[in-house]
């Protein structure tokens, strides 16, 4: 009886050790314990940090680490550039559980981290798809998180009032919202008003989300509707916090779309064969 109890205790301890070998609270694929270069802390501003099977925002989601969770870093590779809450960098950290996180969201002391050996999973091919298209054909008037607007989570495209806004890619409409501090999006906005005005969010494959703001009137789609690439979503306006007609366009790497998972639409669309002018 005592021997059986000891076997149960040993099994429990081994399972716990497998979890702690990677990320605290998140077990990864079974493997020999790697040498850990150092410990980091997930810093996202509140949301969980995604762990992925490959070092890319398009990589398959393997799990999450809560904001403030500890990360056992083994090595790094250079891959997709991410604008994070800690830094902007193209470094991705391989964890002791064999999953990856963007170093842009990792707070850590300065310690040497070796470069990971090159394998097919550490150098993913760029995602290029002709199924993406520009939401409007218009020039850039304000960039993503500029020095003067560090909290600007998208880009502004200077399209004229009533220009059709098209879905950048096929997907499902997940939000149709009037977002204005005045609760009125059917009139022109101003800088004294806060909010995105009339806007739409579309969720795409790989959990990407695109957002289209400041529409002139209620959008042409409804929540739950499936849309194709290039399908009409609404029309350019200047509702909400806006000083003139334009499309504010955002790209996010997950749902819900937040400041923490917003990425640069210019780079994202260029990589998919639909560069924004």
Q: What is the pLDDT of residues 117-172, one digit of tens each?
A: 876 444 443 333 348 999 999 999 989 988 888 889 999 999 999 999 999 999 99
Boundaries of CATH 2.30.30.40 in the chain?
2-107
pLDDT of 214 higher than 80? yes
CB-based burial of residue 182 (10 Å sphere; 0-12 exposed, 13-18 middle, 19+ buried)?
Answer: middle
Residue 174 · residue 200 · CB < 8 Å: no
| Ordered strands of the 106-107 beta sheet | 61-65, 49-52, 100-102, 88-95, 70-83, 38-42, 106-107
What does the chain come to in residues?
277
Range of weakest confidence among 45-49, 196-200, 223-227: 45-49
pLDDT of 17 higher than 50? no
**Mean local confidence (pLDDT), 41-51:** 89
Q: Shortest CA distance to 166 belongs to which of 138, 185, 188?
A: 138
Question: Which of helix, strand or coil describes residue 271?
Answer: helix
Range of weakest confidence among 69-73, 104-108, 123-127: 123-127
Question: Which of helix, strand or coil describes residue 171?
Answer: strand
Domain 2-107 has CATH 3.30.465.10: no
List the beta bridge partners of residue 49. Answer: 65
Cα–Cα dist 234/245, whole Å:
13
Boundaries of CATH 2.70.70.10 in the chain?
140-271
Superfamily of domain 140-271: Glucose Permease (Domain IIA) (2.70.70.10)
**Mean local confidence (pLDDT), 79-107:** 91
Range of weakest confidence among 32-36, 38-42, 45-49: 32-36
Residue 233 · residue 176 · CB < 8 Å: no
Q: How many percent of the chain have pLDDT more than 70? A: 83
What stretch of H or E contains 19? helix 2-20
């Amino acid at each position: 009886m005592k021997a059986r109890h000891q076997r149960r205790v040993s099994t429990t301890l081994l399972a716990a050790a497998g979890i702690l070998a990677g990320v605290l609270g998140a077990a990864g694929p079974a493997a020999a314990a790697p040498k850990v270069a150092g410990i980091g802390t997930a810093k996202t501003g509140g949301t969980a940090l995604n762990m992925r099977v490959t070092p890319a925002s398009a990589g398959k989601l393997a799990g999450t680490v809560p904001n403030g969770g500890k990360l056992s870093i083994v090595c790094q590779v250079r891959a997709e550039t991410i604008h994070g809450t800690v830094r902007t960098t193209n470094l991705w950290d391989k964890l002791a559980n064999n999953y990856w996180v963007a170093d842009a969201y990792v707070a850590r002391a300065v310690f040497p981290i070796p470069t990971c050996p090159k394998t097919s999973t550490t150098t993913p091919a760029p995602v290029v798809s002709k199924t993406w298209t520009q939401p409007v054909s218009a020039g850039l008037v304000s960039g993503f998180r500029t020095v003067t607007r560090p909290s600007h989570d998208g880009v502004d495209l200077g399209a004229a009032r009533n220009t059709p806004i098209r879905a950048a890619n096929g997907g499902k409409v997940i939000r149709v919202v009037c977002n204005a501090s005045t609760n009125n999006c059917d009139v022109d906005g101003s800088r004294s008003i806060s909010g995105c005005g009339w806007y739409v969010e579309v969720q795409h494959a790989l959990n990407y989300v695109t957002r289209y703001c400041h529409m002139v009137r209620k959008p042409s789609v409804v929540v739950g509707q499936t849309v194709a690439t290039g399908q009409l979503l609404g029309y350019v306006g200047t509702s909400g916090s806006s000083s003139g007609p334009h499309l504010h366009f955002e790209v996010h790497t997950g749902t819900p779309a937040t400041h923490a998972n917003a990425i640069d639409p210019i780079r994202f669309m260029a990589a998919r064969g639909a560069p924004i002018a």
